[in-house]
Structure 1
Amino acid sequence: MVNEYNYSKKDKISNKEKKQRGQKMKTAKILIALMLTIALAGIAHALPLTIEDVQINDVTLNQDTENALSLQRGEDYEVKLKVSSEEELTDIKIEAFISGYDNEEEQISDSTELFDLEPETTYIKTLKITIPENLETDTYLLRIMATDRDNDELIQNYKLKIDAPRHKLIVKDVIFRPSGEIKAGTSLLATVRLKNEGQKDQKYVKVKISIPQLGIEGTDYIDEIKKDEEQETEEIYMKIPRNAETGTYEAKITAKYSEYKTTSSTYTIKVRADEEYTENPQPEIIITQLTQEEPVKAGETATYPIAITNQGKNSRAVALIPQQTDWAETTLSESTIVLQPEQTQTTIATIKVKKDTPAGKHATSITIIAGENQKQITLTANVTKEEKSLKGILETALIIFIILLVVLGIAMGVTKLQKKEDYY
C-alpha cells in the first residue's frame, strides 16, 4: 500500500511539472512570435520607385563611379531628380543630403513635400543644397533617399568632390570698439578679420566698412592673405554723427580683391542719442558784414570790413580763405585769427579791380572756417569806368573844332579853284 501510494504521488507530481513546462513553452513561443513580428515590422522594404536621373547644375551623376563634378564651398547647387513607378504610390518624400559634416545647426540637405505618383508617369523634382564655406575639401556621398509613410525606402549614393574655388575671401569676424552701445558724436573703431578659403593667395585687399543710414564709412588695406590663413585690418576709424538718433544700424563690410571680386557681410551696431544735442543750436561764431557792396572804378580798390564774434565758452581759431577771380584780386588783413570767449575782431577784405574789368556788378566770396563749421559770405563790387575831366573834354572839343576848320578851309579852296578853271 505504501509503495502504491508513493508511486501514485510521483506520477501526480510528474504530470503537474509537465503541465507547467507546457505552459512555459507556449508562453515562450508567443513571445518569440511577437518579437519576430515587431522585428519584421521594423524592417524597411524596398520602395517600388525608380530614380531615373540625378543632375546637379545640368550634369548627370553616376552611381557606380566618382563623378567628374567638383562642387565649390560657399556655393548653392540645384539637384534635379527624375522619378517614376510602375505602381501607384502615395505620400512619397524625397530627401537629398550630404553626410559627414559635423554641424547640427547647418545641415547640407533639402527635401520635397509629400507627393503621389501615378503608374507609368515621370516626375521631376528640384532640390537645392548649399555647400558650407568651412567644409573640408574631400570626396563625399550625396545620398538620395525616397520614403513613404509605411517606412518603405529607397536610397542611392553618388560620389561628389568638394573643392575650394581659386579666389575666395570671407568676412570671418568684425570687432567694434566700443563693443556695446555707442553714444552719438563719439568715435567708433572697427577691426575686420578675413579668411582666405580659395586656392590662391590674395594681395592688396581693400576693406571698407560703411553705415549708410548715418552717412559714414572707413577704409583700410591688407597687403596679403595666404590661402587657408586669416588676416585682420588695422583699426578703421569712423565718427558717429552727433545728431544720430537712438536705434540699431546696419554696418556693411565689403572686401575687394583679385581685381573685380568682392565679398560682403552685414553686422549691426547700437547707437544712443546725445541728449545734450539740439537740432538748431545757437552758433558760437557770429559773422557780421559791415558792407556787402561797394562802388569802385576799374583799376582801383574797395574795402569790406568783416566783424567776427566768438560767443562760445572756449577760444576758437577762425580761418578766412578768399576766392580769386579773373576780374579782381582779393586780400585780407588777417587770414587766421584766434578769438577768446566773447571777443570780436574785425578783418578787412580788400578787392583790387583790374583795369580791363567791364562796368557792372561783380561778385566774389570769402570762406570762413571755424572747426568743423564753415560759412561763405559774398562781396560785390559795382564797377564803373573812369570819367574824363572837364579839361580833357575841352581839349578834345578844341581838337575836333580845329579839324573841322581845316576840312572847311580845304573845301573852300577847292571851290575857288574850280571857279577859276571855269572862267578860263
Structure 2
Amino acid sequence: MFGKKMKTAFVLFSLVAMLLLSSTAFAVEYENRTEGNFTRNDQEDVLNQGDLPELDVIWVKIDGDIVENGDEVRLNLERDQEVEVKVEIMGNEDFDDVTIEARVYGDDHNRLSDDSETFDIREGRLYIKELDLELPSSMDMDAYDLRVTVAGRTGAVKTYNYPLYIDAKKNAVSIRDVTFNPSNEVKAGRALLGVVRVKNIGTDDQDSVKVKVEIPELNLYAVDYIDELESDDSVSSEEMYMRIPSTANTGDYEVMVTVEYDDGYKETEERYNIYVVGDEDSQSGTGDSGSGDGDNQPGKVQITAGPQTQDTARGQGGVIYPVSVTNTGSDAKSFSVAVSGVESFGTVKVSPSTLSVVESGATETFYVYVSANEDSTLGSHTFGVKVSSNDETLKEFPLNVNVVEGEPGSEEGGWDSVKKGLLVGLVVLIVLLVILGLIIAFNKMKGTDDEDEEDEFDDSASQTYY
C-alpha cells in the first residue's frame, strides 16, 4: 500500500514539473519575440513613433477668428457653408516635406478634411497655410473638434484640437434633387415634367414654400406650393408641367429652379440644363404652356380643348373639360385620352370612354370630368392631358382647376351632377330630333298634297264639254 502511494505521488510531481517547465519556456520565447522584431501593439511608442517635428503652430484662425488649442469655449459655426482655416507655423530647425491637415471627425456620410501641399520649413521663418472645410447641411448639430495635424514623411505628428459647435440657421431650405421627365432630352412640342425635392435644414418649420421651375429662353415656367415643411424634413413637389414650344431650336437650355421660403423673404436657386430637339416639320400650336389651342393640320388630326381654367368647389360637384378630336385623314383612327396629375387633389373621369375610333372626316369629343376632394388645398392645381393614337403621342397640354371653398349644405356628388347634366342634354337632343322629324314629315305631307291638287287640275282640264 505504501509503495502505491509513493508511485502516485511521483507521477503527480512529474506532471507538475513538466507544466512548470512548459510555462517557463513559453515566457522565455515571448520575451525573446518582444525584444526582437515582433512588437506588442500596446507599447506607447507604436502610437507615435519617431521624433516630433521641431516646429510650433503659432495660431489657427477659423473664418478670421483665432481659436485656442484645447480651449473649453467652443466656436459656434453653422452647417451648410464653407469655412476657411488658416494655420501659421514657425520652424525651430530645417524640416522638409511637411504637410498640414485640418479635419473634423464624427460625420457619418462625409469626409470633412483638407490638407496643404507638401512644403519645406526653414529655421526661424513663419509660414501661413489656408485650408477649406465644407460643412454639409446633413451634419448633426453637436460638439466637434477641429484637429490640425502637422507631420512629415516619417516620425511623429503634432496634433492640435480646437473645439467647435455645429449649429443650424433659423431659416434655411436646400434643394436636394430635381428630376425631369424626360430626363435629359425633350422634343420640341412635347411636355417636360419636373419634380423638385427640398429639405428644411433650418431650425424653424416653414409654411407655403414656393417651388418654381423656369426656362427663361423659352418664356416657360411652372409653380407648385408645399404647404408645410418641418425642420429636418424632406418633401417633394407635385409634377410641374411645361410644354416646349414646337418652334424651339435644337440646343441646350438652362432650367432655373427657385425655392422661396420664410414668407418669401429668402430663396435658394439651382441651375440645370435640358437638351431640346427641334422639329422643323412640326406645325403644332405656339407651344405656350397655357395654350389650349388645337393642332389644326389639314390632312392630319385637329385637337382642340375647352376652357383652360375653371373653378370648382372642393367636395362638391366638379367641372368638365371637353377635348375634341377631328380626324381629317383618309382612314379611320383610334384615339385615346390620358389624364395625369389629378390624384394629388381630386378624381378624374373621361366620358364616354378613354378610347374611341374616329372615322375619316368625323369628330369625337372626350369629356374630362374633374372633381376636388373635400380635403384638397384651396387654390390653383395643374394637371396634364395627353391625346394619343396607336401609342404615338399627338398632343400634350396642361389644364388648370381652381379649387374654392364649397357652399355648406351641398350634398350632391360630383359625378351624379354630371350624369344629370348629360341626361338633360340627352332629353334636349331627343326633343330636337323629334321636332326635326315632325318638320321633315310635315314637308313631305305638304309635297304630296300639292301633287294631288295638280293631278286633279290636269284631269279637269282634259274633260270635253259639248
- Bin the TM-score by the shorter chain: 0.5 to 0.7
1:260 maps to 265
Which range is displaced more, 87-96 or 174-183?
Answer: 174-183
1:168 match: 172
**Residue number among 48, 56, 60 corresponding to 2:66 in the alignment:** 60
Q: Secondary structure at the match of 1:207?
A: strand
1:361 equivalent in structure 2:
none
Q: CA deviation at 1:277?
A: 2.9
Cα deviation 1:316-341 (Å, max 9, x = unaligned): 99xxxxxxxxxxxxxxxxxxxxxx99
Q: TM-score, normalised by structure 1?
A: 0.55
Deviations 1:300-322 (A, max 9, x none): xxxxxxxxxx99446799xxxxx
Superposition deviation, residue 180 in structure 1? 5.6
Q: Percent identity?
A: 35
Residues 315 and 33 (structure 1), Cα distance of their counterparts in 2 relative to 1, 3 Å cut: closer
1:223 Cα deviation from its structure 2 partner: 2.5
Aligned length: 268
The structural deviation recorded for 1:124 is 1.7
Alignment partners' CA distance in 2, 1:90 and 1:225 = 54
**Aligned partners of 2:76 and 2:250: how far apart in 1?**
48
Q: Name the CA distance, whole Å, in 2 between partners of 1:35 and 1:226.
A: 58
Aligned to 1:122: 126
Of residues 189, 192, 209, the one that matches 1:188 is: 192
Judged with a 3 Å threshold, the aligned counterparts in structure 2 of structure 1 residues 109 and 86 are, in CA distance, closer, same or farther, namely same
Q: Does residue 221 of structure 1 match 2:203?
A: no
CA contact (8 A) 1:80 1:125 kept: yes
Q: Are 1:157 and 2:161 matched, yes or no? A: yes
Could you tell me which residue of structure 1 aligns to residue 417 of structure 2? none
SS in 2 for 1:161: strand
Structure 1 contact 165–199 (Cα < 8 Å) conserved: yes
Please give the root-mean-square deviation of Cα atoms over the aligned residues, in Å. 3.8
Of 93, 106, 110, the residue aligned with 1:100 is 106
Deviates more, 1:179-188 or 1:234-243: 179-188
Could you give the per-residue CA deviations for residues 131-178 of structure 1, whole angstroms, max 9, x where no partner exists? 011111111111101111223311111121111111110112223234
On the 8 A contact 1:66/1:158 being kept in 2, the answer is no
Change (3 A) 1:228 1:177: same
In structure 2, what residue type is equivalent to 1:198?
G
Is the partner of 1:277 in helix, strand or coil? Answer: coil
Distance 1:155 1:182, change over 3 A: same
- Structure 1: how far apart are the matches of 2:217 and 2:196? 20
Partner of 1:146: 150
Match of 2:388 in 1: none
Question: CA offsets, 1:253-312, max 9 Å, x none?
Answer: 111122332112233434333363379x9xxxxxxxxxxxxxxxxxxxxxxxxxxxx994
Aligned partners of 2:303, 2:276: CA distance in 1, in Å? 29
On the 8 A contact 1:94/1:146 being kept in 2, the answer is: yes
Does structure 2 conserve the Cα–Cα contact (< 8 Å) formed by 1:76 and 1:129?
yes
Report whether the alignment pairs 1:78 with 2:84: yes
Q: What do the CA deviations read for 1:387-406 (whole angstroms, capped 9, x no partner)?
A: xxxxxxxxxxxxxxxxxxxx
Question: What is the alpha-carbon distance in structure 2 between the residues aligned to residue 251 and residue 311 of structure 1?
Answer: 31
Corresponding letter in the other structure for 1:79: V
Give the C-alpha shift of residue 56 in structure 1: 0.7
Pick closer, same or farther for the CA change 1:315–1:260 going to 2, 3 Å: closer
Q: What does 1:326-341 align with in structure 2 at a 5 Å threshold?
A: none
Give the TM-score normalised by structure 2: 0.50
The amino acid that maps onto 2:155 is N
Give the distance between the partners of 2:125 and 2:169, measured in 1 at CA.
39
SS in 2 for 1:116: strand
Equivalence for 1:323: none
Answer whether contact 2:258 2:267 (CA < 8 A) is retained. Answer: yes
Q: How does 1:8-407 map to 2 (within 5 A)?
A: 32-35=35-38, 43-103=49-109, 106-179=110-183, 181-258=185-262, 259-274=264-279, 276-277=281-282, 312-313=298-299
CA deviation after TM superposition for structure 1 residue 213, in Å: 4.2
After superposition, the C-alpha distances for 1:219-273 in whole angstroms (9 at most, x for unaligned) are: 2222221211222322222111213344554322111122332112233434333
Measured in 2, the distance between the counterparts of 1:315 and 1:167 equals: 50
* Preserved CA contact (<8 Å) 1:66 1:160: no
Q: CA separation of 1:316/1:137 partners in 2, compared to 1, >3 Å: closer, same or farther?
A: closer
Paired with 2:167 and 2:243, the residues of 1 have a C-alpha distance of: 42
Structure 2, gaps ≥5 residues long: 1-27, 287-295, 305-326, 329-396, 398-466
The one-letter code matched in structure 2 to 1:263 is T
CA distance in 1, matches of 2:156, 2:269: 45
In structure 2, distance between residues paired with 1:199 and 1:149: 44
Which shows bigger deviation, 217-226 or 71-80? Answer: 217-226
- Report the residue type matching 2:269 in the other structure: S
Change (3 A) 1:35 1:244: same
Distance 2:119 2:248 in 1: 53
Q: Distance in 1 between matches of 2:281 and 2:183?
A: 23
Cα distance in structure 2, aligned partners of 1:316 and 1:78:
60
In 1, the alpha carbon distance for the partners of 2:200 and 2:90 equals 44
8 Å contact 2:75–2:163 — kept in the other structure?
no
Runs (5+) with no aligned partner, structure 1: 1-24, 282-309, 318-339, 342-371, 373-424
Which stretches of structure 1, 4 residues or longer, exceed 4 Å deviation after superposition?
Answer: 28-32, 38-42, 245-248, 313-317
Mapped partners of 1:233, 1:128: distance in 2: 34
Looking at structure 1, the residues matched to 198 and 275 of structure 2 have their Cα atoms a distance apart, in angstroms, of 23
Q: Give distance in 1, aligned partners of 2:59 and 2:189.
A: 62
